[in-house]
């Protein structure tokens, strides 16, 4: 879903060592940035920590060759049945939420996302795709975050205090993301406070960053896009390119340098020069992998062993400021409201069950909410819709019958469902018979009703006719010349009983379609004829 | 400010209650059903005495929560139990809740405490104590004051009637003495051991137009006679009176706070004493600010008093410019850090702030 190591760190292992050989999809920025982080990660783990069972640089290259990059909102057909679509997730450059669809069943996996925009990224967004299941991160669901303003204010305060007392501030950054944001922040602050201390960023950082921003400008937010059009991303009034020699200059300064975890390169070089002075400060803006200097000093270590068994004593102030954003409870509710899933599954790291959040989601959205533990299997029942094509003729005919179609109420229609070769069609019965080469059968019921009447047949018929005409006022009752009676399409004929002249046998005959009227007539006639009939 | 942290709750709260283990409780009071009660763990920065640097843990965490079908106007933990009691419209009954065991984070609703619901009754004001047993003192009006034993639901005390005025708050001065404050400003004392003993301590201040009053009592430091702590009363027009309950014939002090007029009603009037600063109190409920005063320089002249600090954060916080400016609904003092307060407003904001005394003794 994005280039953070906790999401892509095992990809080369998976494809090159475990043997996964299926397709690999990610967004364009992720594809561009992943390999850099993976290579850094590999270098630290193998060269610094001495891991042996780890993927190699070549494996990273081979893995990335297999990657297919996707655009936002582009439906990608993985095979005849499986489709995927990426949605903007905020969080970091290129982060996406993925919808995975087979037929009309779908799952949305969010990865890490953020519902509030920040200085360089927009907020996550998804349409009302109504997936059967939404899998969301919920580690930060229980946090109520302090405002960005307060964090930034504290960051600026720390930098300002250090610079005011003549100290130097080192901010190790990864080329993308927060570096840009922090630069904008400092530039504005320096301008407002009319500060003179120099701010630098290392050139490696600016080249790479500019390059990526140019490539992926559509992934950033509106404000960044506007300023980028006007000027170079790293063209600031108060921030200049760094030269190695500047690190030895006396007096206060602020330097942004790569790499972000202090594990090699320029940021580590500068750190070694400045660590011994307690007037200086290093501000770590994010997570550091175990084994890096960044990780060690954040854990509280103040004596570090460098190459050649040299011990470095860290007297400078070590601060940690995380600006990375995840969705809180409010954000999760917002996403659920946008996507309208039928079920929700929360992924979390808490041992304690988050019953409260589960109930909150279930009550508000009337959906089931699951929170399985690692290794646990959850079964979710879906109600798949099966799409059926209806013939135009049938549709026209059925909509013409009965009350007018109402967009809000379902209308009952009759037709024949033909299932052939994975296609479903609804057609009229006549059409179905024709297609199947079958003849239509007519179903006709006949019932004999015995009536006590000694008179002649045609007199009995007349009696029956008058009787029915009197009762069935809303129906068409006719006395035909051939001596039979019709009630709508039902036929009644009278014959004499073969053995008993006093009994007449009425033959009542009706088609399947007139079942109801037919049975009604039969029971009516069974009651007998009234005595006084003209 | 020495420090200022701003947070946004999903729904505004009109109560902030401290619980065991430095927990803080807030609850929704909106009109629709589905109000949440949230017990929060404050960030470590607020729990330590020294102000930390750029500490990574700066957020409140929801430790557990419950769902209330009615708006929650008042909430009190019942000491020595895992229960809490809430009250709110539409009637004067009390809802009782059980904090869950270790494996769940839901605060469950338990059967309510019913009260006589006469006509014209509003929601009950409540306070709790655990002396002889866990008790809740509650009442919406002066003639409906009772003490109920929370676990057994037995009524252990009913106050004699002293009138039918609406109550604005009540407090235990010690395990036997009750102090009741009416909305008219009248203060009454009662002794739990003597059911007929309701006594008017301070009469309602006479005023041409009806003002609404509320009170703030000091949680006395150990060993001090509770009734020696002055009781503060605040009116909806900004009048502040300090009374010594041992000598109620005259005010200890009388002052006027500078508040906007016309006022925004008496719904969220709040006055409280600082637990760790002698003579300091805070008021809120008039607008988007919280005022802190040093009462040690006050006399009985009723002059306008100058606050030693005004927290204006809520007035500037707002995301959008639309709608009414936010109104501070409640404030409370941190129990250990002397100059730290928490305040909440009608836009859902929750602020934690610590001010620097420019000069002087406070």
- Asked if B98 and B64 count as a contact pair (C-beta separation under 8 A), the reply is no
Q: How confident is the model at residue B56 (pLDDT cuts 50, 70, 90)?
A: low
**Strands ordered across the beta sheet of A105-109:** A76-77, A82-88, A96-102, A105-109, A133-137, A343-347, A368-370
pLDDT at B362: 43
Question: pLDDT tens digits for A463-519?
Answer: 888 888 888 888 888 888 888 899 888 999 888 887 887 888 889 999 888 888 888
Across the interface, whether the CB atoms of A150 and B9 are under 8 A apart is answered: no
pLDDT for res B223? 47
Task: Please give the pLDDT value at position A174.
Answer: 77
Lowest-pLDDT range of A91-95, A356-360, A456-460, B76-80: A456-460
CB contact under 8 A, B59 and A145: yes
Dist. CA A83–CA A91, nearest whole Å: 24
Which residues of chain A neighbour B58 with C-beta distances below 8 Å?
A: 145-146, 150-151
Rounded distance, CA A344 to CA A378, Å? 11
Among partner residues B54, B60, B105, which is closest to A352 by beta-carbon distance?
B105
What pLDDT digit, counting tens, does each position of A195-214 carry? 999 999 886 666 676 677 77
Condensed to tens digits (0 to 9), the pLDDT of residues B291-334 reads 999 999 898 888 899 999 999 989 876 555 556 789 999 999 99
- Which member of A39, A80, A105, A137 is catalytic? A137
DSSP B53: S
Alpha carbon distance A174, A221 (integer Å) = 19
> What confidence tens digit (pLDDT) does each residue in A433-473 have?
998 899 988 888 999 988 888 888 888 888 888 888 888 88
Report residue A290's pLDDT band, with 50, 70 and 90 as the boundaries.
confident
Task: List, in sequence order, the alpha helices (H) in chain B.
Answer: 44-47, 313-317
Q: How far apart are the C-alpha atoms of B316 and A266, rounded to whole Å?
A: 42
The residue-averaged pLDDT of B45-69 equals: 75
The nearest alpha carbon in chain B to A146 belongs to B7
* Whether pLDDT at A230 is above 70: no
pLDDT at A245 over 50: yes
Q: Both tokens of residue A423?
A: 């296609």
Higher pLDDT, residue B70 or A351 = B70
Number of neighbouring beta carbons within 10 Å of residue A469 = 15
Chain A interface disruption, residue of B5, B24, B41, B53, most A CBs within 10 A: B53
Q: Give the pLDDT confidence of A13-32 residue by residue, as tens digits.
A: 999 999 999 999 999 999 99
Q: Is the pLDDT of residue B66 over 90?
A: yes
Could you count the other beta carbons within 10 Å of the beta carbon of residue B192?
A: 21
Our CA-based measurement puts residue A258 at a distance from the nearest CA of chain B, in whole angstroms, of 21
Residues 6+ apart with CB under 8 A from A223: A119, A120
Q: Cα separation of B331 and A465, whole Å?
A: 92
Q: Can you tell me the mean pLDDT for A24-41?
A: 91
Task: Output the pLDDT for position A497.
Answer: 81
**pLDDT higher than 90, residue A533:** no
Task: Say if residue B230 is preceded by a cis peptide, omega within 30 of 0.
Answer: no
- pTM given for the model: 0.79
> Is the confidence at residue A140, as pLDDT, over 70?
yes
Domains of chain A: 10-143+325-370 (3.60.15.10), 148-320 (3.40.50.10890), 389-401+410-436 (no CATH), 444-527 (3.30.310)
What percentage of residues in chain A have a pLDDT greater than 90?
41
Three-state SS letters, A9-48: CCHHHHHHHHCCCCCEEEEHHHHHHHHHHHHHHHHHHHHH
Q: Check if the interface score ipTM surpasses 0.95.
A: no
- Which residues does chain B have within 8 Å of residue A364's beta carbon, measured at their own beta carbons? 34
Query: Do A8 and A37 contact (CB within 8 A), yes or no?
Result: yes
The model's pLDDT over A422-438, given as tens digits with 9 standing for 90+, comes to 889 999 988 899 988 99
pLDDT given at position A74? 95
Q: Are A144 and B61 in contact (CB under 8 A)?
A: yes
User: What are the distances in angstroms from CA B195 to CA A9, A501, B156, B177?
Assistant: 72, 104, 10, 11
Confidence of residue B164 (pLDDT cuts 50, 70, 90): confident
A143–B61 CB contact, under 8 Å: yes
- Cβ(B147)–Cβ(B123) below 8 Å: no
pLDDT over 60 (residue B360): no
Closest CA to B138 of A13, A366, B128, A170: B128
Q: Is the predicted pLDDT of residue B78 greater than 90, yes or no?
A: yes
Angle separating helix axes A178-193 and A148-164, nearest 10 degrees: 60
Edge to edge, what strands does the sheet with B177-182 contain? B167-172, B177-182, B187-191, B194-202
Cβ-Cβ contacts under 8 Å, A171 against chain B? none
Task: Tell me which residue in B6, B67, B103 faces A146 most closely, judged by beta carbons.
Answer: B6
Average pLDDT, chain A: 87
Residue A488 annotated as catalytic: no
Identify the sign of the CA torsion A13, A16, A21, A27. Answer: positive
Position B96 scores a pLDDT of 95
Average pLDDT over residues B97-102: 85
For B114, B146, B180, B235, B336, the CA distances from B141, given in Å and listed in that order, are: 15, 10, 10, 18, 34
pLDDT at B224 over 60: no
CB-CB under 8 Å, B67 with A144: no
Q: What is the mean pLDDT of residues B238-260?
A: 85
| Alpha-carbon span A89 to A121, nearest angstrom | 9
DSSP state letter for A405:
P
Lowest mean pLDDT among A20-29, B2-11, B257-266: B257-266
The pLDDT, as a whole number, for residue B219 is 66
Confidence label for A286 from pLDDT (cuts 50, 70 and 90): confident
- The first and second tokens of residue B339, run together, are 């100059």
**Residues in chain B whose Cβ is within 8 Å of chain A:** 4-10, 34, 36, 40, 43, 53-56, 58-67, 100, 102-106, 350
| Close Cβ partners of A294 (under 8 Å, ≥ 6 residues apart) | A172, A260, A261, A262, A263, A284, A288
- The strand pairing partners of B64, in sequence order, are B39
The beta strands (E) that lie in B42-176 are given as: 60-68, 74-77, 83-87, 94-98, 108-113, 125-130, 134-139, 146-149, 155-158, 167-172
The H or E element that residue A184 is part of is helix A178-193
Which pLDDT band holds residue A164 (cuts at 50, 70, 90)? very high
Interface test with A, best of B37, B62, B102 (most A CBs within 10 A): B62
Candidates A396, A398, A337, A388; CA nearest to A365 is A337
């Amino acid at each position: 879903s994005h280039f953070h190591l906790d999401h892509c760190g095992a990809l080369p292992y998976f494809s090159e060592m475990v043997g996964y050989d299926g397709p690999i999809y990610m967004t364009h920025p992720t594809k561009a940035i992943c390999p850099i982080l993976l290579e850094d990660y590999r270098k630290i783990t193998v060269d610094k920590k001495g891991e042996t069972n780890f993927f190699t640089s070549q494996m990273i290259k081979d893995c990335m060759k297999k990657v297919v990059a996707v655009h936002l909102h582009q439906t990608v057909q993985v095979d005849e049945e499986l489709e995927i679509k990426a949605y903007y997730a905020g969080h970091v450059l290129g982060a996406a939420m993925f919808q995975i669809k087979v037929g009309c069943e779908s799952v949305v996996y969010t990865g890490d996302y953020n519902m509030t925009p920040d200085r360089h990224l927009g907020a996550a967004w998804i349409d009302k795709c109504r997936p059967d299941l939404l899998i969301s991160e919920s580690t930060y669901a229980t946090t109520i975050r302090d405002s960005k303003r307060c964090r930034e204010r504290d960051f600026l305060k720390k930098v300002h205090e250090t610079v005011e007392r003549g100290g130097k501030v080192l901010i190790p950054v990864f080329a993308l993301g927060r570096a840009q944001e922090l630069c904008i922040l400092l530039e504005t602050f320096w301008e407002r406070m009319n500060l003179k201390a120099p701010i630098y960023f290392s050139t490696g950082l600016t080249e790479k960053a500019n390059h990526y921003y140019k490539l992926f400008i559509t992934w950033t937010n509106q404000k960044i896009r506007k300023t980028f059009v006007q000027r170079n991303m790293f063209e600031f009034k108060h921030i200049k390119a760094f030269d190695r020699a500047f690190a030895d200059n006396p007096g206060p300064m602020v330097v942004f340098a790569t790499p972000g975890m202090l594990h090699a390169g320029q940021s580590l070089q500068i750190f070694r020069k400045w660590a011994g002075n307690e007037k200086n400060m290093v501000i770590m803006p994010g997570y550091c992998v175990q084994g890096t200097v960044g990780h060690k000093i954040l854990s509280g270590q103040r004596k570090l062993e460098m190459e050649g068994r040299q011990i470095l004593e860290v007297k400078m102030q070590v601060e940690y400021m995380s600006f990375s954003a995840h969705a809180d409870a409010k954000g999760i509710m917002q996403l659920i409201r946008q996507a309208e899933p039928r079920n929700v599954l929360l992924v979390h790291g808490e041992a304690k069950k988050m019953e409260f959040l589960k109930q909150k989601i279930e009550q508000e959205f009337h959906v089931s909410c699951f929170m399985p533990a690692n290794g646990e299997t959850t079964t979710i029942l879906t109600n798949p819709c099966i799409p059926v094509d209806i013939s135009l003729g049938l549709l026209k005919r059925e909509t013409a019958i009965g009350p007018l179609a109402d967009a809000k109420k379902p209308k009952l229609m009759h037709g024949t469902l033909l299932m052939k070769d994975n296609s479903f069609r609804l057609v009229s019965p006549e059409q179905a018979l024709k297609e199947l080469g079958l003849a239509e059968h007519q179903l006709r019921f006949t019932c004999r009703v015995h009536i006590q009447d000694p008179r002649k047949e045609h007199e009995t018929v007349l009696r029956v006719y008058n009787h029915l005409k009197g009762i069935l006022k809303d129906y068409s009752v006719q006395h035909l010349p051939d001596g039979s009676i019709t009630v709508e399409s039902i036929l009644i004929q009278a014959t004499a009983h073969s053995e008993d002249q006093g009994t007449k046998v009425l033959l009542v005959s009706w088609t399947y379609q007139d079942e109801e009227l037919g049975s009604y007539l039969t029971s009516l006639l069974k009651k007998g004829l009234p005595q006084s009939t003209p | 400010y020495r420090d200022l942290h701003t947070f946004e709750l999903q729904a505004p709260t009109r109560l902030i209650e401290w619980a065991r283990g430095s927990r803080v409780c807030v609850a929704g009071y909106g009109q629709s059903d589905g109000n949440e009660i949230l017990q929060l763990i404050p960030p470590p920065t607020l729990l330590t005495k020294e102000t930390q640097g750029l500490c990574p843990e700066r957020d409140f965490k929801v430790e557990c929560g419950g769902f209330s079908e009615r708006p929650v106007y008042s909430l009190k933990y019942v000491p020595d139990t895992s229960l809490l009691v809430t009250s709110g419209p539409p009637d004067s009954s009390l809802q009782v809740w059980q904090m869950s065991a270790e494996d769940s984070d839901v605060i469950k609703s338990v059967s309510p405490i019913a009260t006589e619901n006469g006509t014209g009754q509003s929601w009950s004001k409540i306070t709790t104590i655990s002396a002889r047993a866990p008790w809740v003192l509650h009442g919406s009006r002066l003639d409906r004051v009772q003490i109920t034993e929370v676990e057994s639901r037995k009524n252990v005390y009913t106050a004699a009637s002293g009138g039918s005025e609406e109550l604005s708050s009540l407090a235990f001065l010690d395990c036997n003495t009750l102090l009741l404050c009416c909305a008219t400003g009248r203060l009454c004392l009662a002794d739990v051991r003597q059911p007929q003993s309701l006594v008017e301590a301070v009469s309602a201040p006479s005023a041409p137009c009806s003002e609404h009053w509320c009170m703030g009592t000091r949680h006395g430091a150990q060993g001090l006679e509770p009734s020696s702590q002055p009781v503060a009363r605040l009116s909806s027009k900004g009048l502040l009176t300090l009374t010594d309950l041992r000598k109620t014939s005259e005010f200890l002090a009388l002052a006027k706070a500078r508040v906007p007029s016309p006022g925004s009603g008496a719904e969220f009037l709040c006055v409280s004493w600082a637990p760790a600063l002698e003579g300091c109190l805070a008021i809120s409920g008039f607008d988007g600010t919280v005022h802190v005063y040093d009462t040690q320089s006050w006399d009985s002249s009723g002059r306008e008093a100058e606050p030693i600090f005004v927290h204006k954060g809520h007035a500037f916080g707002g995301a959008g410019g639309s709608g009414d400016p936010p109104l501070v609904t409640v404030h409370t003092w941190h129990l250990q850090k002397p100059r730290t307060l928490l305040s909440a407003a009608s836009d859902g904001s929750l602020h934690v702030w610590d001010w620097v005394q420019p000069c002087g003794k406070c």
